[in-house]
Structure 1
Amino acid sequence: MDETGLAQANEIGMALVRLNRATACMAAQSTKLGIDKTSFTLLATLAHTGPLRSSALAEAVHSDPSTISRQVAQLVKDGLVERTADPVDGRATLLAATDSGRELFLRHRDRRNEMIASMVSDWPPEDRRQFATLLHRFVGAYEEHMPGLIAELVDYARSGVEK
């Protein structure tokens, strides 16, 4: 990568840092209203995909099954997710969003969409379309490179521990 490409990558990286800070602030406020970001991500995944085994849900959100078990238990307790027997393998359990869970997800999604629409309402329609296209492209590339990035982080952490 040449210097111009690295400078552009730095601009993108700095914008992502600002976005992460802003979303962390919003997540903290949402937690005060009753559902944390991680739990909502699990609920949104189930509302979008339909019933999943716990291991498939963990994979879908790039997490470990043991890590999501506490959030799933709370979602079940709150009546937003239910456990049912897997019709293919009765020994296994499927997790599914309840009607209340789907309603909550839809309300949050609609509110988010209204907020984003408001933020970009003064952008020309072509800019909004192009931004959506490029953002999807960036997120796809990020997801594609994520396993390698995680491996690099693990190697980096291990090299720091060994020194």
Structure 2
Amino acid sequence: MDGAVPEIGTRLHDLIRVSRMLKQRRSAERSAIPIGLFVLLSEIDRLPTGSHARELAIQSGLDPSTVSRAVAALVSHGLVTREPDPHDGRATVLVVTATGKAALADTLQWYERTLARALADWSPDELAAFSRGLGRFTEAIDTALSTNDTLMEAAQ
């Protein structure tokens, strides 16, 4: 395992670099949603209809002020609306607009086409193994970070 960890770190660096390349290519398209906004728009769409910004911050793991600025940008692009919370007259909830849903669908199709081209010569077994491994990896990182946060809180 000792030799594998640095190699995985190198591969993770490569993945981050390729992710930036995808972001740059997608952003170069005239109608593209910036990737950071796309990720948050996807999160809003996955949350129960009428979720609050604080729920979005928790779900996305981002600072509430970062989420607030991103939501403002999504609203200004017409991708999300803030609607009155029916249970709390002082609060608003986030709702993805029809324009936002169309932008999500377009962006997801672009990524699917790009991934399909990149993985065209992979066998079904290779694809399944990669998907399982990537899922397990992201869960393990999430657990490791959560455990680290818990340990740091306990030490304080």
Percent identity among equivalent residues?
30
Contact 2:37–2:70, Cα closer than 8 Å, also in 1:
yes
Counterpart in the other structure of 1:160: none
Asked whether 1:41 is paired with 2:3, we answer no
Q: Measured at CA, do residues 94 and 37 of structure 1 come closer, stay the same or move farther in structure 2, by a change above 3 Å?
A: same
User: What is the deviation of 1:36?
Assistant: 2.1
User: What is the deviation of 1:30?
Assistant: 3.2
Give the TM-score of the pair, scaled to structure 1.
Answer: 0.82
Counterpart in the other structure of 2:86: 87
Please provide the CA RMSD for this pair.
2.1
Q: Measured at CA, do residues 85 and 111 of structure 1 come closer, stay the same or move farther in structure 2, by a change above 3 Å?
A: same
Between the aligned partners of 2:133 and 2:68, the Cα distance in structure 1 is: 34
1:5-154 paired onto structure 2 within 5 Å: 5-33=1-29, 34-49=32-47, 50-149=49-148
User: What is the deviation of 1:76?
Assistant: 0.4
- 4+ aligned runs moved over 4 Å, structure 1: 148-153
Between the aligned partners of 1:14 and 1:136, the Cα distance in structure 2 is: 18
Gaps of 5+ in 1: 154-163
SS of the aligned residue for 2:90 comes to: coil
Number of matched pairs: 149
Read off the aligned partner of 2:82 and give its amino acid letter.
R
Between the aligned partners of 2:75 and 2:25, the Cα distance in structure 1 is: 22
Contact 2:33–2:103, Cα closer than 8 Å, also in 1:
no
Contact 2:41–2:100, Cα closer than 8 Å, also in 1:
yes
